[in-house]
Amino acid sequence: MIARQEFITQLALLNDPSANNYPLPDACFENDRNRLREFLMSWFLLSAKKQSWYIPGMSRGEELWGHFYSADVDRDQGMDAREWQEYLRKNKTYNVKHQKETDKMRLLCLSALVEEADRDGNGQMDFAEFRRIMGERFAPSRKVCSVAGTAAKAADGAERLLDCRACVCACGKWVCSEDTCDEDDADPEDDPDEDEEDPEDDPDVQDLRWF
């Protein structure tokens, strides 16, 4: 169940007709992140026995350490999203058909997982942080995005337009596309200095002011 104010905000965002004209940015939503986590938990478990470092009788924690150690190629005791992705790629966990698309989404979701794990905020996971989020009992966070200038909150997956950019709320943050208003500009050399121009005189700007 969601709060009434949140519901109203969501409804307003849903009915925003201009939102349809904008391509939404790629983003890893909480649901994607959590599904990837579950996939990885079972993959780590199933694939441990096939690894060169595997010793029969290893505990779950030791198996996770084996994966972590192998993924941490620069041996700085930390795993970031790129090391994680490279480790998964080497172990052929990809559907080759959709490799490119998978690569992009995987990296976004691995980054979201690292962020979820990274309690000391150094941008990567140490083994304790990694082990914690790969634990059966770990409950992934649920976050909302604040809507600037209001007390309203947007739920994961909500869409909105912000300064000519299409944004989606993903894992507690607004992820935005490029500024689409700039694309309509002709040669930028011909534009007068924007700082000195009165926005009211520019028909393009007038049209867009309601954002």
Q: What is the DSSP letter of 98?
A: G
Q: Does 78 bind Ca ion (CB under 5 A)?
A: yes
Q: Does 116 bind Ca ion (CB under 5 A)?
A: no
Round the CA-based radius of gyration of the chain to a whole number and report it: 22
Is 22 or 65 the residue whose CB approaches Ca ion more closely?
65
Rounded least distance, CB 86 to Ca ion, Å? 10
> Hey, which residues does 165 pair with through a beta bridge?
162
> Judged by CB under 5 A, which of 11, 15, 59, 74 binds Ca ion?
74
Q: What are the strands of the beta sheet with 165-170, ordered from one edge? A: 159-162, 165-170, 173-176
Q: Does 66 bind Ca ion (CB under 5 A)?
A: no
Q: Determine the Cα–Cα distance for residues 193 and 191; give it in Å rounded to an integer.
A: 6
Q: Does 72 bind Ca ion (CB under 5 A)?
A: yes
> Judged by CB under 5 A, which of 63, 115, 116, 118 binds Ca ion?
118
Burial of residue 23 (CB within 10 Å: 0-12, 13-18, 19+) is: exposed
> Judged by CB under 5 A, which of 38, 76, 178, 191 binds Ca ion?
76
* 124-145 residues labelled b (16+ CB within 10 A) or e (exposed): bbbbebbbebbeeeeebeeebb
Binding residue count for Ca ion, defined by CB under 5 A: 7
> Judged by CB under 5 A, which of 120, 185, 191, 197 binds Ca ion?
120
Rounded least distance, CB 83 to Ca ion, Å? 5
192 token code pair: 């007068």
Is 71 or 145 the residue whose CB approaches Ca ion more closely?
71
Can you give the binding site for Ca ion, defined by CB under 5 A? 72, 74, 76, 78, 118, 120, 122
